[in-house]
Structure 1
Amino acid sequence: MSELASTDLHGRRILVAEDEYMIAQEIVDALSDVGATILGPVSRLKDAIRLLTMENRIDGALLDVNLSNEAIWPVVDALQARAVPLVLATGYDTSAIPAAYAGLPRCEKPATGQDLARTLAKVITDVTRG
Protein backbone atom coordinates (compact mmCIF):
# COMPACT_ATOMS: atom_id res chain seq x y z
CA MET A 1 0.00 0.00 0.00
CA SER A 2 1.30 3.42 -0.81
CA GLU A 3 2.25 5.92 1.87
CA LEU A 4 -0.52 8.18 0.53
CA ALA A 5 -3.25 5.62 1.21
CA SER A 6 -1.78 4.75 4.58
CA THR A 7 -1.71 8.38 5.70
CA ASP A 8 -4.98 9.52 4.16
CA LEU A 9 -7.10 6.57 5.24
CA HIS A 10 -5.75 6.04 8.77
CA GLY A 11 -8.54 6.71 11.28
CA ARG A 12 -11.12 7.32 8.54
CA ARG A 13 -14.56 5.73 8.71
CA ILE A 14 -15.13 4.06 5.34
CA LEU A 15 -18.43 2.61 4.14
CA VAL A 16 -17.95 -0.55 2.08
CA ALA A 17 -20.81 -1.82 -0.08
CA GLU A 18 -19.94 -4.93 -2.07
CA ASP A 19 -22.05 -8.03 -2.70
CA GLU A 20 -19.25 -10.43 -3.62
CA TYR A 21 -17.82 -11.85 -0.41
CA MET A 22 -14.23 -12.34 -1.57
CA ILE A 23 -14.00 -8.82 -3.02
CA ALA A 24 -15.57 -7.34 0.12
CA GLN A 25 -13.06 -9.18 2.29
CA GLU A 26 -10.14 -8.01 0.16
CA ILE A 27 -11.34 -4.40 0.48
CA VAL A 28 -11.82 -4.75 4.25
CA ASP A 29 -8.32 -6.21 4.60
CA ALA A 30 -6.72 -3.43 2.53
CA LEU A 31 -8.52 -0.71 4.50
CA SER A 32 -7.81 -2.34 7.85
CA ASP A 33 -4.12 -2.61 6.95
CA VAL A 34 -3.92 1.20 6.72
CA GLY A 35 -5.88 1.81 9.91
CA ALA A 36 -9.29 2.68 8.50
CA THR A 37 -12.47 1.85 10.39
CA ILE A 38 -14.79 -0.18 8.18
CA LEU A 39 -18.51 0.51 8.16
CA GLY A 40 -19.97 -2.72 6.83
CA PRO A 41 -19.29 -4.33 4.54
CA VAL A 42 -22.88 -4.46 3.37
CA SER A 43 -24.08 -6.53 0.45
CA ARG A 44 -27.63 -5.23 -0.01
CA LEU A 45 -28.97 -1.79 -0.83
CA LYS A 46 -31.33 -1.71 2.14
CA ASP A 47 -28.44 -2.47 4.50
CA ALA A 48 -26.38 0.35 3.00
CA ILE A 49 -29.29 2.77 3.43
CA ARG A 50 -29.82 1.60 7.02
CA LEU A 51 -26.13 2.12 7.76
CA LEU A 52 -26.33 5.65 6.33
CA THR A 53 -29.17 6.51 8.69
CA MET A 54 -27.30 5.10 11.70
CA GLU A 55 -23.88 6.65 11.10
CA ASN A 56 -23.27 10.32 11.80
CA ARG A 57 -19.72 10.25 10.49
CA ILE A 58 -18.70 8.65 7.22
CA ASP A 59 -15.38 9.86 5.80
CA GLY A 60 -15.46 7.96 2.52
CA ALA A 61 -17.12 5.11 0.67
CA LEU A 62 -16.23 2.30 -1.72
CA LEU A 63 -19.38 1.23 -3.51
CA ASP A 64 -20.15 -1.60 -5.88
CA VAL A 65 -22.53 -0.15 -8.48
CA ASN A 66 -24.81 -3.19 -8.34
CA LEU A 67 -25.68 -4.81 -5.00
CA SER A 68 -27.61 -8.04 -5.50
CA ASN A 69 -29.27 -6.67 -8.66
CA GLU A 70 -30.12 -3.29 -7.12
CA ALA A 71 -28.44 -0.08 -8.27
CA ILE A 72 -26.44 1.82 -5.63
CA TRP A 73 -27.66 5.27 -6.78
CA PRO A 74 -29.86 6.08 -3.73
CA VAL A 75 -26.79 5.57 -1.53
CA VAL A 76 -24.64 7.67 -3.86
CA ASP A 77 -27.22 10.46 -3.72
CA ALA A 78 -27.31 10.36 0.10
CA LEU A 79 -23.51 10.38 0.35
CA GLN A 80 -23.21 13.26 -2.09
CA ALA A 81 -25.78 15.22 -0.08
CA ARG A 82 -23.45 14.76 2.91
CA ALA A 83 -20.36 15.64 0.80
CA VAL A 84 -18.80 12.22 1.46
CA PRO A 85 -16.01 11.32 -0.98
CA LEU A 86 -16.73 8.04 -2.76
CA VAL A 87 -15.40 5.65 -5.35
CA LEU A 88 -17.55 3.41 -7.51
CA ALA A 89 -16.39 -0.11 -8.25
CA THR A 90 -17.88 -1.57 -11.38
CA GLY A 91 -17.38 -4.09 -14.09
CA TYR A 92 -19.89 -2.26 -16.26
CA ASP A 93 -18.91 -0.28 -19.31
CA THR A 94 -18.94 3.51 -18.88
CA SER A 95 -22.09 3.70 -21.01
CA ALA A 96 -23.98 1.72 -18.34
CA ILE A 97 -23.41 4.47 -15.74
CA PRO A 98 -26.24 7.04 -15.71
CA ALA A 99 -25.13 10.47 -16.90
CA ALA A 100 -25.71 12.00 -13.45
CA TYR A 101 -22.97 9.73 -12.05
CA ALA A 102 -20.61 9.51 -15.03
CA GLY A 103 -18.11 11.96 -13.53
CA LEU A 104 -17.67 10.15 -10.23
CA PRO A 105 -14.35 8.49 -9.43
CA ARG A 106 -14.44 4.86 -10.41
CA CYS A 107 -12.33 1.72 -10.41
CA GLU A 108 -12.96 -0.87 -13.07
CA LYS A 109 -13.38 -4.43 -11.84
CA PRO A 110 -11.48 -6.53 -11.49
CA ALA A 111 -9.58 -4.26 -9.12
CA THR A 112 -7.74 -5.26 -5.98
CA GLY A 113 -8.71 -4.00 -2.56
CA GLN A 114 -5.45 -2.06 -2.56
CA ASP A 115 -6.33 -0.43 -5.90
CA LEU A 116 -9.67 0.67 -4.50
CA ALA A 117 -8.10 1.93 -1.26
CA ARG A 118 -5.47 3.92 -3.22
CA THR A 119 -8.15 5.49 -5.40
CA LEU A 120 -10.26 6.40 -2.38
CA ALA A 121 -7.22 7.88 -0.60
CA LYS A 122 -6.55 10.08 -3.63
CA VAL A 123 -10.18 11.22 -3.79
CA ILE A 124 -10.20 12.04 -0.06
CA THR A 125 -6.90 13.92 -0.40
CA ASP A 126 -8.21 15.91 -3.37
CA VAL A 127 -11.39 16.83 -1.45
CA THR A 128 -9.58 17.82 1.75
CA ARG A 129 -7.06 19.95 -0.13
CA GLY A 130 -9.98 21.60 -1.90
Structure 2
Amino acid sequence: MTDTPSAAPLAGRHILIVEDEWLLADHLDGIVTEAGGTVLGPFATADQALAALAGDAPRPDAATLNVVLLDHMSFDVADRLGALAIPYTFLSANRPYSLPERFRTTPLLGKPFGDWQVVAALVALLDQAEPARTRTVG
Protein backbone atom coordinates (compact mmCIF):
# COMPACT_ATOMS: atom_id res chain seq x y z
CA MET A 1 0.00 0.00 0.00
CA THR A 2 1.18 3.52 -0.71
CA ASP A 3 0.42 6.93 0.74
CA THR A 4 0.14 8.34 -2.77
CA PRO A 5 -3.48 8.96 -3.79
CA SER A 6 -4.73 6.75 -6.58
CA ALA A 7 -4.92 8.53 -9.92
CA ALA A 8 -8.29 6.86 -10.47
CA PRO A 9 -9.85 6.16 -7.05
CA LEU A 10 -13.24 5.37 -8.64
CA ALA A 11 -11.87 3.09 -11.37
CA GLY A 12 -14.26 0.31 -12.27
CA ARG A 13 -17.08 1.85 -10.22
CA HIS A 14 -20.53 2.87 -11.44
CA ILE A 15 -21.79 6.03 -9.75
CA LEU A 16 -25.44 7.08 -9.97
CA ILE A 17 -25.88 10.86 -10.10
CA VAL A 18 -29.29 12.37 -9.34
CA GLU A 19 -29.11 16.14 -9.81
CA ASP A 20 -31.61 18.51 -11.44
CA GLU A 21 -29.31 21.51 -11.92
CA TRP A 22 -27.79 20.72 -15.31
CA LEU A 23 -24.58 22.69 -14.78
CA LEU A 24 -23.90 20.94 -11.47
CA ALA A 25 -24.93 17.57 -12.93
CA ASP A 26 -22.43 18.06 -15.75
CA HIS A 27 -19.74 19.08 -13.26
CA LEU A 28 -20.40 16.01 -11.08
CA ASP A 29 -20.21 13.85 -14.20
CA GLY A 30 -16.78 15.32 -14.91
CA ILE A 31 -15.58 14.80 -11.33
CA VAL A 32 -16.58 11.13 -11.33
CA THR A 33 -15.22 10.51 -14.82
CA GLU A 34 -11.89 12.19 -14.03
CA ALA A 35 -11.60 9.98 -10.93
CA GLY A 36 -12.00 6.91 -13.17
CA GLY A 37 -15.65 6.16 -12.46
CA THR A 38 -18.50 5.49 -14.86
CA VAL A 39 -21.53 7.74 -14.48
CA LEU A 40 -25.07 6.42 -14.49
CA GLY A 41 -27.16 9.44 -15.41
CA PRO A 42 -27.13 12.18 -14.44
CA PHE A 43 -30.85 12.01 -13.80
CA ALA A 44 -32.84 15.20 -13.14
CA THR A 45 -35.88 13.54 -11.56
CA ALA A 46 -36.55 10.84 -9.01
CA ASP A 47 -38.70 9.02 -11.56
CA GLN A 48 -35.81 8.84 -14.04
CA ALA A 49 -33.45 7.53 -11.37
CA LEU A 50 -35.96 4.94 -10.14
CA ALA A 51 -36.55 3.76 -13.71
CA ALA A 52 -32.79 3.35 -14.19
CA LEU A 53 -32.54 1.34 -10.97
CA ALA A 54 -35.35 -0.92 -12.18
CA GLY A 55 -34.01 -1.24 -15.72
CA ASP A 56 -31.12 -2.97 -17.41
CA ALA A 57 -28.50 -0.34 -16.55
CA PRO A 58 -25.48 -1.54 -14.58
CA ARG A 59 -26.03 -1.65 -10.82
CA PRO A 60 -24.50 1.43 -9.20
CA ASP A 61 -21.76 0.94 -6.63
CA ALA A 62 -22.65 4.25 -4.96
CA ALA A 63 -24.77 7.34 -5.60
CA THR A 64 -25.03 11.08 -5.07
CA LEU A 65 -28.51 12.51 -4.59
CA ASN A 66 -29.58 16.13 -4.61
CA VAL A 67 -32.33 16.38 -1.97
CA VAL A 68 -34.71 18.69 -3.87
CA LEU A 69 -35.37 17.66 -7.48
CA LEU A 70 -37.59 18.89 -10.31
CA ASP A 71 -40.41 16.45 -9.61
CA HIS A 72 -40.08 16.11 -5.83
CA MET A 73 -37.63 15.16 -3.10
CA SER A 74 -35.13 12.36 -3.75
CA PHE A 75 -36.25 10.33 -0.73
CA ASP A 76 -37.92 7.61 -2.84
CA VAL A 77 -34.60 7.08 -4.61
CA ALA A 78 -32.78 7.00 -1.26
CA ASP A 79 -35.23 4.41 0.04
CA ARG A 80 -34.72 2.27 -3.06
CA LEU A 81 -30.94 2.52 -2.83
CA GLY A 82 -31.15 1.53 0.83
CA ALA A 83 -33.28 -1.49 -0.04
CA LEU A 84 -30.67 -2.51 -2.63
CA ALA A 85 -27.81 -1.94 -0.13
CA ILE A 86 -26.26 0.69 -2.41
CA PRO A 87 -24.48 3.42 -0.41
CA TYR A 88 -25.31 7.03 -1.19
CA THR A 89 -24.72 10.57 -0.03
CA PHE A 90 -27.01 13.55 -0.25
CA LEU A 91 -25.62 16.68 -1.91
CA SER A 92 -27.56 19.65 -0.63
CA ALA A 93 -27.57 23.10 0.86
CA ASN A 94 -30.02 21.66 3.41
CA ARG A 95 -28.79 20.66 6.85
CA PRO A 96 -29.24 17.17 8.33
CA TYR A 97 -31.90 18.38 10.78
CA SER A 98 -34.08 19.45 7.83
CA LEU A 99 -34.19 15.88 6.50
CA PRO A 100 -36.74 13.29 7.59
CA GLU A 101 -35.52 11.51 10.70
CA ARG A 102 -34.74 8.27 8.84
CA PHE A 103 -32.11 10.12 6.78
CA ARG A 104 -30.44 12.20 9.48
CA THR A 105 -27.48 9.83 9.76
CA THR A 106 -27.06 9.59 5.97
CA PRO A 107 -23.88 11.25 4.72
CA LEU A 108 -24.59 14.78 3.50
CA LEU A 109 -22.14 16.84 1.50
CA GLY A 110 -23.08 20.49 1.84
CA LYS A 111 -23.21 22.79 -1.17
CA PRO A 112 -20.95 24.38 -2.18
CA PHE A 113 -18.33 21.64 -2.15
CA GLY A 114 -14.95 21.01 -3.72
CA ASP A 115 -14.27 18.37 -6.34
CA TRP A 116 -12.01 16.44 -3.97
CA GLN A 117 -14.82 16.35 -1.37
CA VAL A 118 -17.11 14.56 -3.83
CA VAL A 119 -14.44 11.97 -4.62
CA ALA A 120 -13.56 11.55 -0.93
CA ALA A 121 -17.23 11.09 -0.02
CA LEU A 122 -17.72 8.45 -2.72
CA VAL A 123 -14.53 6.61 -1.76
CA ALA A 124 -15.66 6.62 1.89
CA LEU A 125 -19.03 5.15 0.89
CA LEU A 126 -17.35 2.46 -1.17
CA ASP A 127 -14.88 1.66 1.62
CA GLN A 128 -17.71 1.29 4.14
CA ALA A 129 -19.62 -0.96 1.77
CA GLU A 130 -16.52 -3.00 0.97
CA PRO A 131 -14.14 -2.73 3.95
CA ALA A 132 -11.70 -5.31 2.61
CA ARG A 133 -10.78 -3.03 -0.28
CA THR A 134 -8.44 -0.19 0.71
CA ARG A 135 -8.29 3.17 -1.06
CA THR A 136 -6.52 6.42 -0.38
CA VAL A 137 -7.64 9.90 -1.37
CA GLY A 138 -5.38 12.91 -0.92
Task: Give the TM-score taking structure 2 as reference length.
Answer: 0.85
> Structure 1 regions of 5+ residues with no counterpart?
none
| Greater Rg over alpha carbons, structure | 2
Q: Percent identity?
A: 27
Deviation (angstroms), 1:94: 2.2
Q: Give 4+ residue runs of structure 1 displaced > 4 Å after superposition.
A: none
Counterpart among 82, 87, 90 of residue 88 in structure 1: 90
Query: Which residue pairs with 1:42 in the alignment?
Result: 43
Distance change (3 Å), C-alpha of 1:64 and 1:72? same
> Structure 2 regions of 5+ residues with no counterpart?
133-138
Structure with a larger share of its residues in helix = 1
Q: Which has the higher contact order (CA 8 A, sep 6+)?
A: 1
- In 2, are the aligned partners of 1:14 and 1:38 still within 8 Å (CA)? yes
Distance change (3 Å), C-alpha of 1:23 and 1:106? same
Alpha-carbon distance between aligned partners in 2 of 1:57 and 1:4, rounded to the nearest angstrom? 23
Deviation (angstroms), 1:56: 4.8
- In 1, are the aligned partners of 2:46 and 2:71 still within 8 Å (CA)? no
Task: Give the TM-score taking structure 1 as reference length.
Answer: 0.90
Distance change (3 Å), C-alpha of 1:51 and 1:113? farther
- In 2, are the aligned partners of 1:31 and 1:117 still within 8 Å (CA)? yes
Alpha-carbon distance between aligned partners in 2 of 1:39 and 1:18, rounded to the nearest angstrom? 12
Alpha-carbon distance between aligned partners in 2 of 1:13 and 1:94, rounded to the nearest angstrom? 26
Aligned length: 128
